[in-house]
Amino acid sequence: MKIVVLKFGGTSVGSTDRIKKVSKIIISYIKKKYKVIIAASAMSGVTNDLVKKSREISNDFKSDEYDVLLSSGEQMSCALIAGRLNYLGYKSRSWLGWQIPIVTEGDFSAARIKNIHKKNIINYLKSGGIPVVAGFQGVNSDYRITTIGRGGTDASAIMLAKFFKAKKCIIYTDVDGVYTTDPNTIKKAKKIKVISYEEMLEMASLGAKVMQPHSIQDARLNRVDIDVRSSFKRSKGTLITKRKNISTNKIIRGVSFTKNDAKVTLVGVKDKPGVAASIFEPLYKNSINVDMVVQNISSNGKETDLTFTINSEDLFKTEKLVKNNKKINFRKIVVDKKVSKLSIIGVGMITTPGVTYRMFNALAKKNINIIVISTSEIKISVLLNKKDLKKAVDALHKEFKLEK
């Protein structure tokens, strides 16, 4: 069978009019002789509304019931899509995670798909049906509904493509592909036709909101190519694939940034073995993600200043945890919410000397100060003053000729 998996995000199914348009897209693949499996998200705004309702009921809503509640949004959109396809004369029905079943493991709200039983869906496809599968959900070994994290319908689609050996996995969303940077910030941002899993993973982790990072990691591990397209206009999107499928002379593929960063500096930390672990242990236990880390040793070797960045939403909790940490000694804590992280990404920098110099020189020419630096094999990130962000993005976009 020639199978294609089509995923439709919340904005794509955000109203009954949009669901009617989505149905036309689905039918276009049927007419091309594909067997189509749909992965559907909840209608835009529905999941947030369900979260709000849970908080109005309880400030300690049970995690298993929370997953039952949140997964109901996808159930509604699946029924509406199947209902529209039936009205247009096509055989279709909704499939919830437990009906297939999609088997998951791990914690509630952060489960991962372990297995998808194929028999029922295969038989339905052979009978000419169009299965509309609820994304974002599955069932665990105790037969309880689980969810796989916000944005999890992408992961559902990727795993459906893996288990059913689909020819294509197409993610329909409200953007028409992946751009060299945010087109709302830089008007000359250009759509990237083909990008590697590794580059896309870095871009998603660093602020590009096209897909969730864990979904891209799933695609990379399972070697599932992803085609990102817009459900609102007919145009080619961006193909996310393995490196060897890409031929480009671009050293840098994109410039990503985040605006919700906070910098924390502990001044005069008593330096001894294990002190860094002692600082970060309570943050880890409270699910606070630490990003960039810089440590400066004093000349006498007895003290250190340690700087790290976190999401600004975690700043209050982080300050409290650090101040109440009896395992560490320091003179003072300094925090700064007026910072942003800016990154350049590209597998080309692995074999190309001078990229770091070009980046720093371009920022220096615009009189932009670098506060913290972090690097990986295919990424260089800097922390800078938030007021300089747009100027910095523009400078790097031009430096690496990403508009061409």
CATH number for the domain harbouring residue 275: 3.30.2130.10
The pLDDT, as a whole number, for residue 137 is: 97
Q: Which of 174, 200, 220 represents a domain boundary (last residue)?
A: 174
Residues 156 and 26 in one domain: yes
Tokens read off for 386: 């938030």
Q: Where are the beta strands (DSSP E) in 180-302?
A: 191-192, 194-196, 226-230, 238-241, 254-270, 293-297
Asked whether residue 10 is domain-assigned, the answer is yes
Q: What is the dihedral of CA 287, 292, 298, 304, to 10 degrees?
A: 0
Q: Which of 142, 174, 206 represents a domain boundary (last residue)?
A: 174
Asked whether residue 239 is domain-assigned, the answer is no
Residues 13 and 156 in one domain: yes
Asked whether residue 346 is domain-assigned, the answer is yes
Tokens read off for 97: 């995670």
Split at pLDDT 50, 70, 90, the class of 207 is low
Q: Count the residues in the chain.
A: 404
Percent of the chain surpassing pLDDT 90 = 77
Distances (CA, A) of 17 to 134, 245, 330, 334: 20, 38, 59, 51
Sign of the CA dihedral with 307 first, then 313, 316, and 322 last = negative
Whole-prediction pTM: 0.83
Split at pLDDT 50, 70, 90, the class of 248 is confident
**Which comes out higher in pLDDT, residue 121 or 375?**
121
Asked whether residue 106 is domain-assigned, the answer is yes
The pLDDT, as a whole number, for residue 324 is: 94
Question: Based on the structure, what is the number of domains in the chain?
Answer: 2
Split at pLDDT 50, 70, 90, the class of 273 is confident
The domain in which residue 163 lies consists of: 3-174
CATH number for the domain harbouring residue 136: 3.40.1160.10
The pLDDT, as a whole number, for residue 211 is: 83
Residues 170 and 291 in one domain: no
Asked whether residue 26 is domain-assigned, the answer is yes
Q: Which of 145, 174, 203 represents a domain boundary (last residue)?
A: 174
Split at pLDDT 50, 70, 90, the class of 295 is confident
Q: What is the mean pLDDT of residues 213-221?
A: 88
Asked whether residue 15 is domain-assigned, the answer is yes
- What mean pLDDT, rounded, does the chain reach? 93
Asked whether residue 136 is domain-assigned, the answer is yes
Asked whether residue 32 is domain-assigned, the answer is yes
